Structure 1
Amino acid sequence: MTADEQNILRTELARLQQEHRDLDAAIEALSDAPGRDQIQLQRLKKRKLILRDRIAFIEDQLTPDIIA
């Protein structure tokens, strides 16, 4: 993997991590709100899980394979 590809992945990783934190805050706020919208809450949680999987994939791409 080239340095440019690693920089692109790191930039994408930072963006996804920020979005994940933002979703976490939105989910918490929506959970505490009276008359909360359960469907919207489920959608946000699903998006957060998708982001978590994508973050893990990118982290795996950036971590060199080490054979023990």
Structure 2
Amino acid sequence: MQAQDPAQIAHLLAELRQEHRDLDVAIQQMATSIGCDELQITRMKKRKLLLKDAIARLESKLIPDLDA
């Protein structure tokens, strides 16, 4: 889905930020548990980085282009 409307982008940003926060909490909980699955934690961290990149791209779409 290519969101071009600023309202759609803002909504998608909110969803991605929430997922990013949720992953952060889940990673912290898994890391402190006994017998944690390191492979699962690694996958979650990778997903978290992908979300961070997607958030940055969407945030840049919200910044208006200024002609120099």
User: What TM-score results when the alignment is normalised by the length of structure 1?
Assistant: 0.89
Q: How many positions carry a matched residue from both structures? A: 65
> Which residue matches 1:19?
19
Structure 2 counterpart SS, 1:11: helix
Gaps of 5+ in 2: none
Structure 1 counterpart SS, 2:34: coil
Residue 39 (structure 1) aligned with residue 54 (structure 2): no
The structure that is helix-richer by fraction is 1
Runs of 4+ in structure 1 over 4 Å off: none
> Shift of the alpha carbon at 1:64?
1.7
Residue 50 (structure 1) aligned with residue 50 (structure 2): yes
User: What TM-score results when the alignment is normalised by the length of structure 2?
Assistant: 0.89
